[in-house]
């Protein structure tokens, strides 16, 4: 099977992802997506990478250099000009794979089930088949097969990694 672009200079996404995946994996990262979009007279190649524990700007720079070097040595993008953009998916990425759920353990998520129900809870544990959420103090197992849509909720008032209730500013402590 040829990886060359078609006569219009279009590269199919599957071939591109297959080309990029081993490059990204050298850095212990997962290729989350690769997309080519028109950008004026050029094309924009967006590559999203992530890994357990997150990815730093230095990591992104290293992956970008490796991808750029590999693209320069191959004709997968064809002769046309393009701009390469490598980044992490960001917090607004939908949770579609078990690794997405695992990487967001202890985060608050909103889930729409295929049956139409919606629930919001904190991810407590994750397996390859399901995630266990704390929904208003009750543990609830949610099978990925039953999820129509799931997204992390941004929490501005919660300190990162802090699962303990906050002490009020006046120093009083509430007991349950």
Query: Alpha-carbon distance 57 to 75, whole Å?
Result: 28
What is the per-residue pLDDT across 130-148, written as a single tens digit (0 to 9) for each?
Answer: 999 999 999 999 999 999 9
Band (pLDDT 50/70/90 cuts) for residue 173 is very low
Indicate the pTM of the whole model.
0.72
Q: Given this model, what pLDDT does residue 157 score?
A: 77
Question: CA 42 from chain center: how many Å?
Answer: 26
C-alpha–C-alpha distance, residues 164 and 103, integer Å: 20
List, in sequence order, every residue forming a beta bridge with 59; answer none if it has no partner: none
Given a contact cutoff of 8 angstroms between Cβ atoms, the answer to whether 19 and 3 are in contact is yes
Average pLDDT value for the chain? 85
* 50-79 confidence digits (pLDDT tens): 998 889 999 999 999 999 999 999 988 988
Q: 33 pLDDT exceeds 70?
A: yes
pLDDT recorded at residue 8: 43
């Amino acid at each position: 099977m040829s990886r060359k672009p078609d006569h219009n200079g279009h590269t199919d996404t599957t071939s591109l992802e297959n080309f990029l995946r081993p490059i990204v994996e050298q850095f212990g990262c997962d290729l989350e997506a690769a997309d080519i979009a028109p950008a004026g007279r050029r094309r924009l190649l967006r590559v999203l990478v992530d890994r357990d524990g997150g990815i730093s700007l230095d990591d992104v720079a290293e992956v970008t250099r490796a991808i750029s070097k590999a693209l320069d040595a191959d004709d997968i993008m064809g002769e046309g000009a393009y701009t390469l953009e490598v980044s992490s998916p960001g917090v607004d990425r939908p949770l579609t794979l078990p690794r997405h759920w695992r990487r967001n353990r202890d985060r608050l998520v909103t889930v729409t089930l295929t049956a139409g129900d919606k629930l919001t809870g904190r991810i407590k544990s994750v397996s390859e088949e399901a995630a266990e959420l704390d929904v208003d103090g009750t543990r609830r197992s949610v099978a990925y097969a039953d999820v129509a849509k799931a997204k992390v909720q941004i929490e501005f008032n919660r300190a990162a990694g802090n699962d303990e209730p906050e002490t009020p500013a006046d120093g009083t402590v509430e007991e349950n």
